[in-house]
Chain A
Amino acid sequence: MNFNLPALRQQFPFFTAHPDWIYLDNAATLHKPQVVLDAMHQFYSQQNSNVHRSAHGLSQQATAAFEAARSTVAQFLNARCSHEIIWTSGTTAGFNQLVYGLMGPVLQSGDRVLISSMEHHANIVPWHIHALPFGVELDVVPLTADYRFDLAAFTELLKLKPKVVSISHVSNALGHIQPIAQIVRLAKAAGAIVVLDGAQGIVWEKVDVQALDVDFYLFSGHKLYGPTGIGVLYGKTEYLALLRPLLGGGEMIKTVSFLRSSWNDLPYRLEAGTPNMAGAIGLGAAILWLRQQDLVAIQQHKQGLVQRFYEGCKQIPALELLSGQTTNAGIVALNLKNEHPADLATLLDQQKIAVRAGTHCAMPLFQAINSKGSVRFSFACYNSFDEIDRTLAALTTAVELLTE
């Protein structure tokens, strides 16, 4: 096994700057290895020019670097070609383009869309804005008793013939890994277009969009060791071709007259305005970095962290664990009985443990389980067992303060 935690951690300059903090808010955003920062710095200091626009050699160099990053993403996902990779500013932006783009060409009044109870607001609110006002109906797959995706209920709901099924790969609030292979297979058999929200899933396991046969897959760069402000909307060519552009202007056009415009080919048709060039190049660098790591070893390490933390939590009285220990991508959500999650998180913050409290942009999930929210501990490859032990000690102190 090729996993050397100190050497890996050393590559993240953030930890040198904050040696006294324990960062367990990784589901919110990940830290960046030095190679990502270097790639962006190199772009701005040596390659910066607007892409695709100018005939000069500098612009061509910038364009080549930018398009190379697209190819890196395409290979990483095993897309059929690089024009299936659309740059967005993040998962949220990608969903807004996707939902807007489906309205009309794919979705019409009376059509149904199926999501799950665990979705992030990014896979809920765009439907509210762009689809429901035009008569589309939203159905929701319920949770099982242990807060998992209910495949039996899903199978039933597919009988309503949804045109689109849009589900998260990994739940950001609970960490549960959804049965995506079965979800895609069943939904496709029912004739639906299948969308996966990969914001939390992409960093957990290798995604092969062709083997999965998923139609759209979205993720954010900053949750994959890359920069903020860049994300990816992957789509099969035949479905991307259907999407109406949400944003207009820049390189997304073919011709423009005062009264009408015709649109460029993919991927540019869905990338209006000057793109986030440095962001794309940073994300490309993050993916190349990740491909050099032993992904299986990282997965095992994260599972080990979850297990150590989970077992420790079970020893602390009055803690209620919302997440399950298995089929978990590295997130443990919990509450202290009768106490507000914000109080627990504040007492951890006092001890320099960075966690998130609240409803984690998944308010409907917490309504469904009748809870005010949770404190969420999310782990990444660079966290250590020592950090878990110190966190458990801090958690014990916080719980004692709250229950004495």
Chain B
Amino acid sequence: MIRPDIFTETATALKNIYETQLPELRQLKDWQSKYRILMTLGKALPAFDSEWHRDEFLVQGCESKAWLLHYQDPVTTQHFWAFDSDARIVKGLIILLLVQLNGLTSEELAHAKPELLLNELQLQQNISQSRSNGLLAVLNKIKAVI
């Protein structure tokens, strides 16, 4: 069973990252410092049960795997996610997408372009070229809930 508080705990963690590490990332110029932060972002997320590493939640990228859980609040119609990945950089990149998307309504989600942040931070030049790390597949799956 998926415990519902995984979504609230993830939302809190994402909010903290948005407020603390994201401004820090924007300041940094050299790639080493940026990747150093990117690779530790995942540690702030709540533990993801290995029991949820199930095929139904799997987004298969070429090199790494990601598991994505989704919940929509029936009252507010907001979308929430919880997730895991077996690669640290991809996990960090997914976090940077979700800090912008978590809690949005379908309409807001339809207009969101979260990949622009990755360009701005110079972490992923062009998401359509990221087929090999599976990030595009993750973004498509996130947006598919609409």
> Which residues of A are at the interface with B, using a C-beta cutoff of 8 A?
339-343, 345-347, 350, 357-358, 372-373, 397, 401-402, 404
Contact = CB atoms under 8 A, between A and B. Distances in A.
Contacts of A402: 39, 88
Contacts of A373: 63
Contacts of B31: 350
Contacts of A397: 32
A18 to B, nearest CB: 16
Given A350-B31, A357-B63, A358-B63, A342 B89 contact: yes
B87 A340 contact: yes
B64 interface: yes
Give the interface size class of chain B: 10 to 19
Nearest to A359: B63
A275 to B, nearest CB: 30
Nearest to B85: A340
7 contacts: A343-B39, A343-B87, A343-B89, A345-B63, A357-B63, A373-B63, A402-B88
* Shortest beta-carbon contacts, A-B, top 10: A340-B87, A342-B63, A342-B87, A358-B63, A342-B64, A346-B89, A343-B89, A350-B31, A343-B88, A357-B63
Interface in B107-129: none
A252 to B, nearest CB: 35
B86 interface: yes
B35 A347 contact: yes
A342 B64 CA distance: 7
B86 A372 contact: yes
B90 interface: yes
B123 to A, nearest CB: 10
Interface string B1-39: 000000000000000000000000000000110011001
Nearest to B86: A340
Contacts of B86: 340, 372
B133 interface: yes
Most buried by A among B35, B63, B90, B133: B63
B62 interface: yes
Given A342-B87, A350-B31, A401-B32, 11 more contacts: A340-B87, A341-B63, A342-B133, A343-B39, A343-B88, A343-B89, A346-B89, A346-B133, A347-B89, A373-B63, A404-B36
Most chain A CB atoms below 10 A, which of B62, B86, B87, B132: B87
Interface in B122-142: 132-133
A376 to B, nearest CB: 12
Residue from A339, A358, A373 having most chain B Cβ neighbours under 10 A: A358
Contacts of B90: 342
A340 B87 CA distance: 5
B17 to A, nearest CB: 19
